[in-house]
Structure 1
Amino acid sequence: MAKTNPSPPPAPERIAAFRTGLSAETRAAAYLMAKGYRILARRFRTPYGEIDIVAKKRGLVAFIEVKARAKLDDAAYAVTPRQQQRIVDAASAWLMTHPEHADLELRFDALLIAPRSLPRHLIAAFDAST
């Protein structure tokens, strides 16, 4: 039987970035719940990309990209047009698996997280036409 070499462990920087992302998403979800949103999904993965948070409030479903940076302004510029398109495509996939939400208003938000700052929620940060 052929030996298979296990893949090397991830670099410490990658592990730290992953943990920072999880922490930011947890803070973002708590912030959204405090604002009256119900979290429908976290880290929803599709072949097109991942949606950090899917949240509902009344007749609205928001697909939310969470960005954590040292400064809130840096986080705001971290959602690139290419990433926006991947989120839009992933949202379409989410709606295919959750058709009961397809008739609701849809919105694409960003939630920015930085140390020692309150989260900044950018409502309608981008739209599906990007």
Structure 2
Amino acid sequence: ERDPERGARVRRNARALGVPGLRVVEASSADALPSLPRPDAVFVGGGATASLLDACWSALAPGGRLVVHGVTVETELVLHDARRRHGGSMSRIAVEDLDVIGSLHGWRPARSIVQWSAEKPVLQEDSESDT
């Protein structure tokens, strides 16, 4: 996480949800990935580009999962291309918040979120060496 305030929020949420050992690295992905062990999971919450997804996919351990969210048409195109190349699934998630409409209430839609999720295949030679 490149934003220190969001990094602190991630730590608080992890502790509250029973994951006290979660390590949050405060840096851009491009700066952090080369110095980290191969991750089992990567989450990109926004700002996805083709080069970022390529770097994350390359760093991801076999059997690992990459999950990416986007809200713009441009990011959706990047995610569609990533799904075409690597497989996985895409979903569109819509969220609406209850809001006041005069003296009544109604649902106010937020931007839809497009999610791409894919698991990196385990190489055949890796699975054979485990048996």
Q: TM-score range by the shorter chain?
A: 0.3 to 0.5
Question: How does the TM-score come out when normalised to structure 2?
Answer: 0.33
Question: How does the TM-score come out when normalised to structure 1?
Answer: 0.33
Structure 1 or 2: more strand by fraction? 1
